[in-house]
Structure 1
């Protein structure tokens, strides 16, 4: 738990900086050059600090946990960083865990991801912690590190890491002082730092409010909506899958509304309940009224930090804003009004701490205030509520309904109710390893005495090892391909860099085709058919584990057929289906229970059809193949269900898939002649596509397209590499069918990955479709 000034083994490998946040976790790497972020998730570099306890006792982490927890919140646990030191365990699916044990699982998963990406474990890890944690809670951080068993680890105060990153960009001079205002998802920290010749020194006391952050603001918005809805929620069956899913969506929409108000002055929160759809309007002024009292407390804490540091506002170079919640415009307004000092908001506040942490050991210096003194100088008495947010006044729900809504909608871990005596909290510490909010150990509690007069040993579950997340996400070179075999079509895991490396994922009976990978590349949906034309969606891990039908019951809109599904990369709990029922064909946004959330487009008539949907990376649009609606080609429609589809290509075009890195760019199959197809790129916003291949006009108008294969064969079913620089596709040639690889720029000739018979029968999957 030391904070050294050097880094052992630096030249032999790399260092990993980890910001284990309340709501999000981020990591950065450095191997001698400039630091860089480590991509932990698919939708963003950081991942949600969320765990999901599977029935086999293993944990899913981050995006996968969010997705699985949407339908089973009793197995989800989040915000456990706030509970570090709490003597009452968190109950997850009936099993008690300490916050330290859960944090260890999250840390171990981050290190495992880094090890997988780099091919070796880090030489050293720098783990950050809130600056106002006292010596006792810092000891609990040591328990987290020990339980995770991740190798040599040092610790670093979060504001100090942020200052290091800020200094790397702002070119501070020795003697310059900054105040770091860190308002994250669950905690608030502030301290004053002075630049020295080799690093930073913390001046005065580190101030903070442990129980204040973005999750409290999310809850304020949620309760505002609950108050607006009134009795409508009382009638909701919270025990039904529909009720739980509705509240999960509502809470997610409340979070998005809060974030939207950082750039807009008003927003509308959709409310979709079983049998009722409505909306609640929220303005920035209303949000600021809800959260202003709590933010005023952070300003007061900033003033205390300046006073104990012997620093005036005029002596500050800037107040550096760190943490996702520091983006709220009212934060900067209040600070500038009080201190008349410039505020500096870096490009991505969620990344700054991890980026600074990975540089910490090079520049760390002793602080001027002893850590043991911090707990008593944070300005907030132990157990005192940090900020009282206004409660809704319109038609309040009953206390019982509020409690059930809070638990089910948020997927929060249920607390153990009643007296918990002598429970060993999975940390190896029979004393309970807990602390009050002030960072001091709790009173000792003994178990009842036995008949021999000695204390009976505590009854405790066995200590659990940190288990790896399963299934493991695919590497950047791995993709899933359907291959025709003597016993039928089967899914295989293959490697683009090694044609001989293939692993069968499905064993039948029946045929499996049309795989679509989840955003985190840990799961896939595919069409499973036991008879021709009888395919239904199945879901499994990308290692083939846990295969099962996706829906217990297909939507009625899909009664007569369904084509390859598409994940919503922005929200992995949602899918887009192209379905047929009677004379009606349409696109539908559904959840993973099969409930239709929104109709995106419907049409009817002879020869009318839609198929092959693909959701854009931002989750706002769907590209699909269309026949006679009224034209042919690739069309795009919004996932909000508003507006008509827009035609972006014409002709017998199909198989659209969005680039994961180039905004608006879609790869698709274009018919050159009846017997030859090419892979072509088009921009859905009618802009030109950069092209080193054959530039061609876009017939519906707009920027030119880019043809990346020559059209001399039958090329179809493109899929992008995770980096967006390559496209794999199915090619039909005289010798059979194979998977080929081409540069997304159109430069160079495609090369075969697998071309021997039997070949690919259907679309390969490399990234989210």
Structure 2
């Protein structure tokens, strides 16, 4: 199978994507995530570990771990790792070789073409060092592409970028920042002016800021012996927790950072306003660099069609707010910006691998229609359905420099007028009407931050005519909205794999393209921004209103006042908000827990500043925590049916087979740490319980002649499941450390579906009593049967009970009749307020909670044709995750 491979060797993370048969997908390089840490660990015998394995070993022996070596590319001073000197390009070669080997193994052969990306501001010397790394890795012929160009190529596979249109790529990654102005020209993009960037700026600097904040809050309590191995490991763990806390604040307004140091167990509260105050000066430097890039390109901000975000750190809501406030242009986010460069690099292999153009499926937005239109926000993990036409990626020099051409000068036909000009070009690039009057601000960004006090990020695709004047809240077309949905799903039928790169051939058809150069007419006075665009001409195309299953009203209520193009003021607000909240002191709340005595110090918790950010969770976004499912092929029943365990990210098409999973694997269950998976394996009349690492390694059987659903204890040290004792299935508990098996129930009553409580004290199950299946809760330490009743016969036959993540509620399957076989119900743990949460005539069963407790997944359909569906607890937001014709069941999300 011929395929092209794109590789993004990032400072902190490395990602790869393949292009196979015209489809681009992210490759899963790691066991827990698609990308792997850019780390190399040198063992005492000279052997090397790469990625996640290096990260694990490096926690105990940090002196043997090489990190962030991309920042040292071109530095003649060697990097000392475990007593051995390495050059930065030698370490890069080891990382590159690991990626090539991993992908070749997964794809059953080497790639036909490889593209490797590099920062746009790297000069000839650093690109030559990258060439040396490629040769050391024995990678063969490799194209080089600048990271901004790769990001633009990825965006162009999903959204039409007309010839002559100009975009700016804002790439804020783990260790570097790049910004470049690009113009679509023929079959590719050309660089305008010189790219700008900040080499020593990225997510790791923000991580250090959070880490330093925590240490500052702890003060004298954090005094540790640097020679103590336990202290070193604890600090490494704290650093990881700080990284996770920073990332969570892209979607939430507040988080708690656990601190587990020798002699000190506590938590530190961090809210988004505090984080923004830490990183605002650095982000101001990126805005300044962006201004320089525009000046060098001779492009005025209003001549840009949009800012395209790339790099994992661009998820931070303040990034889009600052860009849209300063430049008054739309900001387009990728749902998984950490993958966009790798995916664009894979797109760039199209010329070498052949096949259809990677942009052939990109379609113009449908024409607007009258009446209500909702903004179609794409699912996390997939870009929206409307694509932008682009051109086949031009081939870059082999192991050479950037393929981008020299800047275009003058004002050629189809190009944007020179900086400051106001010449009206041809028709608007994406169609759509010009917003006038007091048009309200737009919809939230992909990751969900609805920003107050400033313009907002547009949700791709670029569809929708902007309302003019004081249009009513539900009138007119959607600005920057989505195309006509198909099958009731926002964004139509187009599906995307791992980070929104693929636009399959069954993309919905649409009207003619709106092509031409961006309009440069100056913004009208008093016009408020639309989706982060300010008062702009050439709004991005008209979106045909569909009837999505969930939607935001458009336009939303206007924000108070029009934003000012004043970067200093916005940064002042960020800093001032923290000062006001803190009242001159830190707002972090430290919960000290020594010897189980809880003591609270620090200031009282405060609400995040509404002047800076609102709730950060996009109400339309499904959580992206990995879900395990059983996939059945090809028959409808035993022995023809083969069942294996796969994992996927909700909202993405790609399904990844759990390595080592084979026929007969039917019921998967994540451990709480998500580092292991328990699997119920059925082979004819025989069933057993196996445990496997999340990466598929170290699979082993732990219980024979056992079955049913498996439940982990809160500390992941025990399992509960059903096992036959004296001819009767009973609940059993297995201690994984001692292999001790304990029988928990003894009654001959029919029972099943044991589920451990989040606090580890109880087990939920159902038993048949008086001919009706009822849910009971059993105390593990003192299992007096049947335990406490949760649902009685008045609720009806109940099975598949599952605790909510906080243990306060229970989802279960309530069996019905032939007309309505079963629905999902919800009940409080004390048995109060039982209620139905699904009402489809088809069979609904097997619920599982999302880790945040706000969504749940379940199975719908006949036993022979199951599909996985997700929705919120209030019944809204229903989405079918299974493709037509596929058979997926027994989801495990939490």
Q: TM-score by structure 1 length?
A: 0.55
| Other structure's SS at 1:684 match | strand
Sort the Cα spacing of 1:281 and 1:181 in 2 relative to 1 into closer, same or farther, 3 A: same
Distance 2:740 2:764 in 1: 12
Once the 2 structures are TM-superposed, how far is the Cα of residue 526 of structure 1 from its aligned partner?
6.9
Distance 2:663 2:846 in 1: 25
Give per-residue Cα distances to partners, 1:39-63, cap 9 Å, x unaligned. 2223332222223334443333222
Quote the residue 2:203 is aligned against: 214
The answer to whether the 8 Å contact 1:64/1:520 transfers is no
Distance 2:41 2:804 in 1: 31
Distance 1:356 1:695 in 2: 36
Sort the Cα spacing of 1:336 and 1:173 in 2 relative to 1 into closer, same or farther, 3 A: same
Sort the Cα spacing of 1:649 and 1:15 in 2 relative to 1 into closer, same or farther, 3 A: same
Distance 2:845 2:53 in 1: 31
Distance 2:172 2:279 in 1: 13
Match for residue 682 of structure 1 among 840, 843, 846: 846
Once the 2 structures are TM-superposed, how far is the Cα of residue 282 of structure 1 from its aligned partner?
1.4
Quote the residue 1:448 is aligned against: none
The answer to whether the 8 Å contact 1:578/1:585 transfers is no
Distance 2:323 2:99 in 1: 34
Once the 2 structures are TM-superposed, how far is the Cα of residue 82 of structure 1 from its aligned partner?
1.3
1:601 aligns with 2:589: no
Once the 2 structures are TM-superposed, how far is the Cα of residue 127 of structure 1 from its aligned partner?
0.3
Q: Which moved more, 1:514-523 or 1:77-86?
A: 514-523
Matches for 1:182-201 after TM superposition, within 5 Å: 182-201=171-190
Distance 1:26 1:196 in 2: 28
1:340 aligns with 2:328: yes
Quote the residue 2:710 is aligned against: none
Sort the Cα spacing of 1:27 and 1:178 in 2 relative to 1 into closer, same or farther, 3 A: same
Quote the residue 2:81 is aligned against: 92
Quote the residue 1:508 is aligned against: none
Give per-residue Cα distances to partners, 1:641-663, cap 9 Å, x unaligned. x546858589xxxxxxxxxxxxx
Quote the residue 2:649 is aligned against: none
Match for residue 56 of structure 2 among 67, 75, 98: 67
Once the 2 structures are TM-superposed, how far is the Cα of residue 479 of structure 1 from its aligned partner?
4.1
Distance 1:582 1:106 in 2: 43
1:282 aligns with 2:282: no
Once the 2 structures are TM-superposed, how far is the Cα of residue 687 of structure 1 from its aligned partner?
6.0
Quote the residue 1:516 is aligned against: 691
Distance 1:724 1:75 in 2: 44
Sort the Cα spacing of 1:144 and 1:336 in 2 relative to 1 into closer, same or farther, 3 A: same
Distance 2:167 2:66 in 1: 36
Matches for 1:473-488 after TM superposition, within 5 Å: 478-479=660-661
| Other structure's SS at 2:183 match | strand
Distance 1:254 1:62 in 2: 19
Match for residue 167 of structure 2 among 178, 189, 210: 178
Distance 1:475 1:149 in 2: 29
Distance 1:205 1:216 in 2: 25
| Other structure's SS at 1:212 match | coil
RMSD between superposed Cα atoms in Å: 4.9
Once the 2 structures are TM-superposed, how far is the Cα of residue 86 of structure 1 from its aligned partner?
2.2
The answer to whether the 8 Å contact 1:15/1:125 transfers is yes
Once the 2 structures are TM-superposed, how far is the Cα of residue 358 of structure 1 from its aligned partner?
1.8
Matches for 1:119-138 after TM superposition, within 5 Å: 119-138=108-127
Matches for 1:339-738 after TM superposition, within 5 Å: 339-360=327-348, 362=351, 363-364=393-394, 366-368=404-406, 478-479=660-661, 515-523=690-698, 601-603=759-761, 630=788, 636=802, 643=807, 646=810, 648=812, 682-685=846-849, 688-693=858-863
Matches for 1:231-310 after TM superposition, within 5 Å: 231-235=220-224, 239-241=228-230, 243-310=231-298
Quote the residue 1:58 is aligned against: 47
Give per-residue Cα distances to partners, 1:561-585, cap 9 Å, x unaligned. 95599xxxxxxxxxx9778999999
The answer to whether the 8 Å contact 1:517/1:768 transfers is no
The answer to whether the 8 Å contact 1:564/1:578 transfers is no
Q: Which moved more, 1:336-345 or 1:519-528?
A: 519-528
Sort the Cα spacing of 1:80 and 1:516 in 2 relative to 1 into closer, same or farther, 3 A: farther
- Between structures 1 and 2, the one with greater helix share: 1
The answer to whether the 8 Å contact 2:6/2:116 transfers is yes
Gaps of 5+ in 1: 1-11, 371-388, 396-473, 483-498, 500-512, 530-554, 566-575, 587-598, 611-623, 651-663, 665-679, 697-701, 704-722, 726-741, 747-766
Distance 2:702 2:228 in 1: 30
Distance 1:48 1:603 in 2: 37
1:44 aligns with 2:33: yes
Quote the residue 2:606 is aligned against: none
Once the 2 structures are TM-superposed, how far is the Cα of residue 78 of structure 1 from its aligned partner?
2.1
| Other structure's SS at 1:35 match | strand
Quote the residue 1:485 is aligned against: none
| Other structure's SS at 1:268 match | strand
Match for residue 316 of structure 1 among 288, 298, 304: 304
The answer to whether the 8 Å contact 2:658/2:696 transfers is no
The answer to whether the 8 Å contact 1:126/1:153 transfers is yes
Once the 2 structures are TM-superposed, how far is the Cα of residue 74 of structure 1 from its aligned partner?
3.1
The answer to whether the 8 Å contact 1:104/1:148 transfers is yes
Once the 2 structures are TM-superposed, how far is the Cα of residue 64 of structure 1 from its aligned partner?
2.8
| Other structure's SS at 1:169 match | coil
Once the 2 structures are TM-superposed, how far is the Cα of residue 311 of structure 1 from its aligned partner?
0.7
- Between structures 1 and 2, the one with greater strand share: 1
Distance 2:325 2:691 in 1: 51
Sort the Cα spacing of 1:178 and 1:609 in 2 relative to 1 into closer, same or farther, 3 A: closer
Sort the Cα spacing of 1:253 and 1:358 in 2 relative to 1 into closer, same or farther, 3 A: same
Quote the residue 1:750 is aligned against: none
Distance 1:70 1:577 in 2: 27
Sort the Cα spacing of 1:83 and 1:394 in 2 relative to 1 into closer, same or farther, 3 A: farther
Give per-residue Cα distances to partners, 1:508-547, cap 9 Å, x unaligned. xxxxx96522222244577699xxxxxxxxxxxxxxxxxx
Distance 2:742 2:811 in 1: 20
Match for residue 77 of structure 1 among 55, 66, 71: 66
Sort the Cα spacing of 1:81 and 1:95 in 2 relative to 1 into closer, same or farther, 3 A: same
Once the 2 structures are TM-superposed, how far is the Cα of residue 144 of structure 1 from its aligned partner?
0.9
| Other structure's SS at 2:74 match | coil
Once the 2 structures are TM-superposed, how far is the Cα of residue 267 of structure 1 from its aligned partner?
1.9
The answer to whether the 8 Å contact 2:167/2:308 transfers is yes
1:142 aligns with 2:116: no
| Other structure's SS at 1:160 match | helix
The answer to whether the 8 Å contact 2:175/2:203 transfers is yes
| Other structure's SS at 1:119 match | coil
Match for residue 115 of structure 1 among 104, 111, 121: 104
Q: Give the count of matched residue pairs.
A: 486
Distance 1:609 1:327 in 2: 39
| Other structure's SS at 1:195 match | strand
The answer to whether the 8 Å contact 2:259/2:267 transfers is yes
Once the 2 structures are TM-superposed, how far is the Cα of residue 344 of structure 1 from its aligned partner?
1.0
Distance 1:19 1:103 in 2: 11
Give per-residue Cα distances to partners, 1:313-353, cap 9 Å, x unaligned. 11110111111111111111111222111111122111111
Distance 1:57 1:290 in 2: 40
Distance 1:644 1:275 in 2: 32
The answer to whether the 8 Å contact 1:191/1:207 transfers is yes
